[in-house]
Amino acid sequence: MIHLLVSVKQVPDTTNIRIDPETGSMIRKGVPAILNPYDAHAVASAAEWKRKLGGKITVITMGPPAAEEALQECIEMGADRGILISDRAFAGSDTLATSYVLAEAIRKIHEEDPIDMIFFGKQAIDGDTAQVGPGAAIRLGMPLITYAVDIQEINKEEGFALIERKTESGREIIKTTLPAVLTTEKSIAEIPYAALPDLIYSLKYKPENWSAEEPLMYDINQIGLNGSPTMVAKSGSPEAHEPAETISVEEEGIAGVVENTLNKMLSNISVASLWEELK
């Protein structure tokens, strides 16, 4: 029987974001909030192992009240217990403060009910920093394996796990003691299509609510703006580019367009030098 914990985040669907050209800020309206895709695959992986070895899954999230929906999706995939860590005091937290909040929550859960493995998605698609998982691991003093693409074995009795990790040059098989912290790629597990009873259970499930003071008292100097060494100095939309010169097949015909294209391309200095070497 194993106890797995997954830390998840609700994020705006960044593929659908637009910037208000007047104010320079994000248009949030109509942009759905979703369970961070990397976290979803992490939960799916935990669910697979829960099925294999028996046990339970706890999911936690630090976020606004709406993040309950993300927890619900996790319950649908097989998580048993969901905890929403939410408080105004957390607002403005950067990755250092966030890893503090999550690590302390994990520590408390671990004390009451020892955890065997902790999952984070590789990164959140809004911040894309990939810093919170490693930060939490260091605070908990647990071994960290990032970019995990497969869990080959979890052996609770002997206290180890075999994790396959992906790097630019190849794949590593890491043997780690337990408990350990993983940050996972999407390929680690497929998102299951939940059975109807599980979906219904998740629709009726109410997550637990933790604040900055209950059930554990956070150090106000380490949360929110106070606990964040980094801050945004300024933000805006990326510069617009000059639109390209375009030629269309409709107007010039295929052969004509391609000839035109190659002529223009090869008259560019960089491309011309390339062409010299290729010929």
Q: Which two tokens stand for residue 32?
A: 């759905």
Residue 26 CA to residue 264 CA, distance in Å, equals 38
Burial class (CB in 10 A: 0-12, 13-18, 19+), 235: exposed
Q: Interface with another protein by CB under 8 A: which range of 8-16, 39-47, 59-67, 212-220? A: 8-16
Q: Which stretch binds another protein (CB under 8 A): 52-60, 110-118, 210-218, 248-256?
A: 248-256
Tokens describing residue 91 = 């607002």
Nearest-approach distance from CB 223 to another protein, in angstroms = 13
| Sole binder of another protein in the list 23, 111, 214, 234 (CB under 8 A) | 234
Q: Does 66 bind another protein (CB under 8 A)?
A: no
Nearest approach, Cβ of 84 to another protein (angstroms)? 20
Q: How far is the CB of 171 from another protein (least distance, A)?
A: 5
**Residue 205 binds to another protein (criterion: CB under 8 A):** no
Nearer to another protein, 215 or 266 (CB): 266
Q: Is 64 in the site for another protein (CB under 8 A)?
A: no
214 binds another protein (CB under 8 A): no
Is residue 1 close enough to count as binding another protein by CB under 8 A?
Answer: no
**Looking only at residues 142 through 171 of this chain, which bind another protein when binding is defined by CB under 8 A?**
142-147, 162, 166-171
Residue 261 lies near another protein (rule: CB under 8 A): yes
Q: What is the 3-state secondary structure (H, E, C) of 21-42?
A: CCCCCEECCCCCEEECHHHHHH
Is the separation of the CB atoms in 184 and 121 below 8 Å? yes
Do 233 and 99 contact (CB within 8 A), yes or no? no
- From residue 224, give the alpha-carbon distance in Å to each of 93, 221, 231: 4, 8, 11
